[in-house]
Amino acid sequence: MQPKIDQLKRILNEVADLSAAASVLSWDQQTYMPEGGSEDRGDALATLSALAHKRFTSEETGRLLEDLAGQADQLNPDSDDARLIRVTRHNYDKDTRVPSEKVAEFARVTTVAQGVWARARAENNFALFLPHLQKIIELRRGYASLFAPFDHVYDPLLDDYEPGLKTADVQAIFNKLRPQQVALIQAIQAKPQVNDDFMRKYFDEEKQWHFGVEVITRFGYDWKRGRQDRSAHPFTISFGTGDVRITTRFDADRGSSALFSSMHECGHALYEQGVNPAYRRTPLTRGASMAIHESQSRLWENLVGRSLPFWKYFYPKFQQSFPEVLGNVDLMDFYRGINKVEPSLIRIQSDEATYNLHIMLRMELEIAMMEGSLEAKDLPEIWNARMHDYLGITPPNNKNGILQDVHWSAGMFGYFPTYALGNLVSVQFWECIRRDLPDLDSQIEHGDFSALLAWLRRNVHTHGSKFEPQELVQRVTGSKIDPQPYMRYLQSKYGDIYHL
């Protein structure tokens, strides 16, 4: 049996190497590649994607998985090898339904589309991006059709990011969450608003950069195995546990934007850097799912980065970096200001109480596009109407509306729900962390995040994708994904800030 497992791992290593090479090209595309390189880069990524797909879906891989399936009962079902076989089987069953030429086409189309999206966003020109989006929707519908029969056409797309979850599962969670969040927002809107004018002044970009670097270094980001760059949309990308990179985006008139982006992406990177090294160059080296990934980024960005204990330590340093703006702003006013609840146009700049509504809107639009009840040309109008219905605001232009996210240009349909699910999981984990680390607030007030990171390494990071997301959440917290801990957190935090 072991020789066959070793043979399977050799194939998986080759596939991982090809995928890592493609990731390097993708990272360069979004950071340093000149605008004119999109077509050539699309061809290169198409070739690498097709090669990885062909190698993984080869008859040799299939035979090994069939042979190992018959011998799997000899293994402890929770052993690394048993889990590797299970995860590989799941991925193989999906990938063998997709022809290699379709994989190459998708890589080529989305690479070009991302470049066009960046230009369309800068120029506030949805018409420029529209034909590319229409092609991507066509490709995603075609992809989903390969997995029929299914409970819902959106299921295969969601499964790419949340193995084991169904569209109906997510809708049920969101249906419980939505009315509670709306009620909280309405209660807050009935109270006097907090002031955050001081965060809407000029903040020097270089100082923002250095302060963000200091914060994520304190968190535990390993600079020997990573780096930070600038991009139009912040992201994290891994070429292996030894090279996990992040990007951030600066807005000189929003002093917290780059900082919270860096903290968010650092959370993703800490997860990738903490995976068991034994899983290197195998499918287990990735996170359990994007919701689990988002639980880590949102935990560091919000539960830590927007907390009072965090700013008791860091605010004097932040104030010293920007004395002309913050010199006369005391700690409590600053804390309330960075936690202001106010419906906003931009998802990544939204507060914790309204953020999930942005996600629900996007999921509804994706489902409608996949069902064929909504065409791309109608998106701006529908987007603006839903923003008004959900948040009471209407985007003045497409740049701050339908064009704000990179995801659809990259073909990432099914990804958006993971952000909201990650919010929920982050607080489920947080309640367990606070139980196990009763002096956590004191540690954070002293700028010590080592025990927190160690807990996450031990309970979440090290497992990689060994466990499906719902299974991992159950193992760590005792229950599956549940919106109630998140609502308790929001009601407690904003009850104090707004005197509800």
**Would you please indicate which residues are annotated as catalytic (active-site) residues?**
265
First to last CA, the chain: 62
Give me the sheet containing 228-230, strands edge to edge.
228-230, 244-248, 236-238
Task: Count CB neighbours of 373 within 10 A.
Answer: 8
> Is residue 397 within 8 Å of 403, Cβ to Cβ?
no
Pairing of the two strands 228-230 and 236-238? unpaired
As a whole number of angstroms, the distance between CA 38 and CA 155 comes to: 31
Which residue matches tokens 């290699």?
Answer: 100
Phi and psi at residue 467, to the nearest 5°: -115, 145
| C-alpha dihedral sign at 429, 432, 433, 439 | positive
Of the candidates 240, 173, 177, the one whose C-alpha atom is nearest the C-alpha of residue 390 is: 177
